[in-house]
């Protein structure tokens, strides 16, 4: 049990480091109409309750899939999807890359692209 607790604590620390890096990436991103949004608009949307914090979204993804986040981008519109969307690039334990499109307002995973989706799913 202690080993599991230590592994969980290490995973949480790693996730925090990733979140800090992703926050810096999002803050540095330029404003584009159909691409990543600038940090001021993203912050305003979060403060207005339009979107969930990236940290909360990543926890939801981590609860459903085994692996680690490589990249995350926030967009207002994505091909075929409406509203604020987090596009999360994820590396599975089998070294497959998945791209998850997540509704930024609800945390619902809308679309998953890539190979090894079922192998990466955690039992619910």
Count of the separate structural domains present in the chain:
1
Per mean pLDDT, which range of 4-8, 21-25, 43-47, 58-62 is the poorest?
21-25
Helix (H) / strand (E) element for 32: namely none
CATH number of the domain where residue 67 is located = 3.10.450.40
- Domain of residue 6 covers 2-120
Q: Which residue has the higher pLDDT, 40 or 4?
A: 40
- Global pTM reads 0.67
4 vs 35: CA distance, rounded Å: 39
Q: Each residue of 37-64: pLDDT tens digit?
A: 677 888 888 888 889 999 999 999 999 9
Angle at 34 between CA 33 and CA 40, to 5 degrees: 55
Structure tokens at 115: 């190979």
Phi-psi category of 87—alpha, beta or left, where left has phi over 0 and alpha has psi -120 to 50? beta
């Amino acid at each position: 049990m202690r080993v599991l607790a230590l592994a969980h604590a290490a995973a949480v620390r790693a996730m925090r480091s990733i979140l800090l890096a992703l926050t810096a990436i999002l803050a540095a991103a330029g404003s584009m109409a159909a691409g990543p949004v600038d940090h001021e608009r993203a912050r305003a949307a979060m403060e207005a309750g339009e979107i969930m914090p990236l940290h909360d979204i990543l926890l939801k993804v981590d609860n459903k899939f085994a692996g680690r986040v490589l990249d995350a981008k926030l967009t207002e519109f994505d091909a075929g999807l409406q509203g604020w969307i987090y596009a999360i690039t994820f590396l599975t334990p089998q070294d497959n890359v998945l791209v998850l499109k997540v509704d930024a307002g609800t945390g619902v995973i809308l679309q998953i692209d890539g190979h090894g989706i079922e192998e990466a799913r955690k039992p619910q």
